[in-house]
Amino acid sequence: MISTLELRHIVECGFQPLSCTCTVNPDGSLMIKVFDSSSGRVDLLATAGSTSELTSSCAIANLIGELRSEMAAHHATGTVVLSI
């Protein structure tokens, strides 16, 4: 089991050089906000239903890869808002 603090750190580092904040809500859901720190422009705002499936580095890396792909696919249209 990965601690909440470690989970947040891995996710936040996974979007560098962009800035990222990862919040684990009391109900166990995850909110990820990826933004450009110089302009403040939000590139991604995603909520995940539960952190219970993110029990390994591989699962977290897959989530980050999926979100990065969505960001790349929608780069020209602005902010990507997802519920995963």
Q: pLDDT digit string (tens) for 41-84?
A: 888 999 987 888 888 889 999 999 999 998 888 776 667 776 76
**Number of domains into which the chain is organized:** 1
Give the per-residue pLDDT at 76.
65
Domain span at 31: 4-83
Pairing outcome for strands 30-35 and 19-24: antiparallel
Q: pLDDT digit string (tens) for 64-75?
A: 999 999 888 877
55: phi then psi, degrees, rounded to nearest 5: -105, 0
Confidence class for position 40, pLDDT limits 50, 70, 90: confident
The type of residue at 2 is I
Give the per-residue pLDDT at 80.
74
Burial of 50 (0-12, 13-18, 19+ CB in 10 A): exposed
Query: Apex CA 32: angle with CA 15 and CA 68, to 5°?
Result: 40
33 versus 25: which is more confidently predicted?
Answer: 33
17 prior amide bond cis, ω within 30: yes
